[in-house]
Amino acid sequence: IIGEEVPSKLSMSVPTWSTDDVLTWLKQIGFGGFRSSFMDSQVDGDLLLLLTDDQLRDDIRMSNSLIRKRFLRELIELKTNADYSSCDSTKLLRWLRRVGPEYMQYTYHMVHCGIDRTTLEWLTEDHLKEDCGIVNGVHRMKIQNAIKGLFPLSSEKSSPSKESIAPKLDVFISYRRATGSQLASLLKVHLQLRGFNVFIDVEKLEAGKFDNKLLENVKKAKNFILVLTHGALDRCITDTEGKDWVRKEIVAAIESSCNIVPVMSSFSWPNAEDLPEDMRAVCWFNGIKWIHDYQDACIDKLERFLRGEDMSKRGRLSKMSSKDEDVFDTPRYRLHRMGSSDSI
């Protein structure tokens, strides 16, 4: 009909959705009135799939419990029908479908925690409840029974150590929620498509067990990507009590000798002396200057950093082509380019 708005057709690859895609979906399911709250929090596909009832109430300001139930019913349907091929390399969704269609909704939470079909054998009820957020006890029981059917002799084996069964974590992504969530989610998707196991920091307002697990994951990760957008370190400068979580994650990464790679977009480095002493070393790590029009080049460069193909030593400069210089940036490098005669 002439003049009538044509509904946008959304891809079912929900993990790759942008915030605009989420807003379109909200309108389609009749929750357009909450679009401003989702926009304010920059909820993309990744964050949408991980939303909890508490976050809907506190962060999205969906105070009516019956409205939240209606929304979560729509969200469960979306999770069940979503395409997870961008992150589910071992076809965990296919296995959950065989357990029962109602279990497909847990795919993204499980994949997000680093679970795949090779680690199913060692899953415990605590993993399913605390890490994967499966609150339904009957569902946890049926998933565990299905796992026992896959590995009938597993109970006769000696239990491996926690270190041997922990999913390998290649990359931890830290970012400032107010300005960096979209870039952080984009990096996560790109890196997963290139075979990296990625944990993205979903910054929360309240402290708790989840916050402590964030620091544990920082220490487990081989690489620590620090997304630096406009003003990302401003709160660190004024953090006299050491409570800022971005600062805590940076300090944990430095102390655990992670391969730290800053990724900068519209970001200006503060003077190193203005930052707290325990995180000041972050200023001297090699980093990537994110250029939206050259995403592929930026990701290629980032992958080489993560695989150790560009730098013989972390925090040291190496010879680069002029093309590489477009996506390379640290305070030390900027001084070098301005013509400092001092050796680095």
Q: Which residues are identified as catalytic?
A: 249
Would you call 208 exposed, middle or buried from its count of C-beta atoms within 10 A (0-12, 13-18, 19+)? exposed
Q: Which residues of 181-195 are buried (b: 16+ CB within 10 A; e: fewer)?
A: bbbbbbbbbbbbeee
Query: Which is nearest to 227 in space by CA: 263, 178, 201, 253?
Result: 263
Task: Calculate the alpha carbon distances from 189 to 16, 17, 18, 185 in Å.
Answer: 7, 10, 11, 6
Give the Cα separation of 218 and 249 in Å (integer).
7
